[in-house]
Amino acid sequence: MNELRGFAVLGHPIGHSLSPRIHDAGFRARGLEDCRYVAVDVPQPESWADVVKTLRQDGFWGFNLTRPLKELVASSSRLTTRDRWAVATGAVNTLMVRGSDATGVWSGANTDAPAFLQSVEARSLTPRTALVFGSGGAARASLAALEAAGAAVTLAARRPPRFPVRWVDMEAGLYAARDAELVVNATPVGQAGEGSWSRLPVFSAGQTVVDWVYAPPATPFLQAAAAGGARCIGGIELLVRQAALAWVHWFGEAGPLAAMGRAVGWDPP
């Protein structure tokens, strides 16, 4: 029997994560019986590297990172390399560790941005203007992807972000959303257990609306978009696409998108 190869998603809180279900479905589809995937809670974010080292002793070498670790890991001197998207977004959600702890290579990547870009390209969209709500890792991933696609992006957040972008406050963003070809919710607002929108933008046909929140799948943001006749892209799709792209860094090829999507009730368009 082959020695088990371990993979894990790290973050806090982590009990809600769908990543184990998605990746396990991918392993089954590819016949990778020697692979396992678990969710690991990291309540003390600064201990993330020690957690990785401990898991390494049990055969783990591939990792996903969720909040609040993405930006913390991206800025860590522990990383040996960062891919172009990690540099552009200032966030790492995929990690691969090879070799010994002392001399090994810790490679950080961001698959959120290319997953977002894939979702847009899968629909043959070329938005010229976009509005993104939020200023965290998902917002920066959206910004990087949209700028790579040639869109002019405005970011709506409570306070000016610490990275260069055209900015408006949240109230102004609610009004500006009606004029953007593509609108993105990159905040946790609307997620189960998080806050709710006090007011939602008014959407219309011809717009595309994206919500990074995936629990619940039909968020208030997307419900408002659908009611206005806008095209919707949900967080489940982004979650599955970024998971499949993590395999590029672990195995050298993307994961089986359809099989991974079916595990959480999503079929590629």
Q: Under a CB-based contact definition with an 8 Å cutoff, are residues 188 and 133 in contact? A: no
* Host H or E run for residue 73: helix 70-74
pLDDT value for 257: 98
Q: CA-CA distance, 73 to 47, in Å (whole number)?
A: 11
Q: What is the mean pLDDT of each run of 10 residues along the chain (269 residues)?
A: 84 94 98 97 97 94 95 95 96 92 85 98 96 94 96 96 92 96 96 89 97 95 98 98 98 98 95
CATH fold match for the domains 5-110+239-262 and 113-233: yes
- Those residues whose C-beta lies under 8 Å from the C-beta of residue 218, and which sit 6 or more positions away, are 234
Instruction: Check 70, 82, 140, 241 and give the catalytic one.
Output: 70
- What would the pLDDT profile of 9-18 be if each residue is shown by its tens digit? 999 999 889 9
**CATH annotation of 5-110+239-262:** 3.40.50.10860
pTM: 0.95
What are the boundaries of each domain within the chain?
5-110+239-262, 113-233
- Which residues make beta-bridge pairs with 233? 210
Amino acid letter for position 159:
R
Please say if 53 is a catalytic residue. Answer: no
pLDDT value for 2: 59
Q: Which residues of 160-193 are buried (b: 16+ CB within 10 A; e: fewer)?
A: eeeeebebbebeebbebbeebbbbbbbbbbbbee
Q: Which residues of 14-39 are buried (b: 16+ CB within 10 A; e: fewer)?
A: beebbbbebbbbbbebeeeeebbbbb
Going edge to edge, which strands form the sheet with 94-98? 35-41, 5-11, 60-65, 94-98, 105-109, 81-82
Amino acid letter for position 182:
L
Q: Under a CB-based contact definition with an 8 Å cutoff, are residues 113 and 132 in contact? A: no
Distances (CA, A) of 92 to 16, 153, 234: 20, 22, 21
Q: Under a CB-based contact definition with an 8 Å cutoff, are residues 189 and 195 in contact? A: yes
pLDDT value for 1: 45
112 Cα distance to chain centroid: 4
Fold of 113-233: Rossmann fold (3.40.50)
pLDDT value for 195: 87
Q: CA-CA distance, 239 to 60, in Å (whole number)?
A: 22
